[in-house]
Amino acid sequence: MGHKLKQHDGFTLIEAVVTVVIMSLLMTLAMPAIKQSYTQFQMDTAIIQLHKDIRWAQKLADREQSKISIVFLQGNQPYRYIIQYASGEGYIKTVELPDNLTGIQATAIFINPDKTFMKNGHVLIRKGEIRRYVYYYQTGRSRVTSIPD
């Protein structure tokens, strides 16, 4: 004689509650890492955009045979930078940096018509412990780098 097995059509309330509690704990543990990754993504995107804009401004200076400046506005959040003709004829482009940066270290960048920079320098954007840099050199070269977190 065989045994009849009971058939269950779903989960018990206890199984469902235990599953929800475990998922909640896992999400709570994962949230700081997700937030850190998102902040790093924002910073990487911002510094790459700045680097692209510097390269674009170099091409514009060459094409227009005019000096171009990139001026950083650091008074209020969100910080932003403006690309303009160095003569002050007007803005070419304005870009906002990510919200709630904890610091920006930059001076105006001046680009000559031959794509070179008037002087060496760097731009630092910082959010908490995350720091990203663009370095630029009188020769016209520039590069992006970060400090290990």
pLDDT of residue 40: 86
CA pair distance 140, 53, nearest whole angstrom? 14
Q: What is the pLDDT of residues 10-52, one digit of tens each?
A: 788 998 999 999 999 998 888 888 888 888 888 899 999 999 9
Angle ∠(28,30,31) on CA atoms, nearest 5: 70
Tokens, residue 132: 């990203």
Residue 149 has pLDDT above 80, yes or no: no
Q: Of the ranges 18-27, 62-71, 140-149, which one carries the lowest mean pLDDT score?
A: 140-149
Q: What is the pLDDT of residues 112-121, one digit of tens each?
A: 999 999 999 9
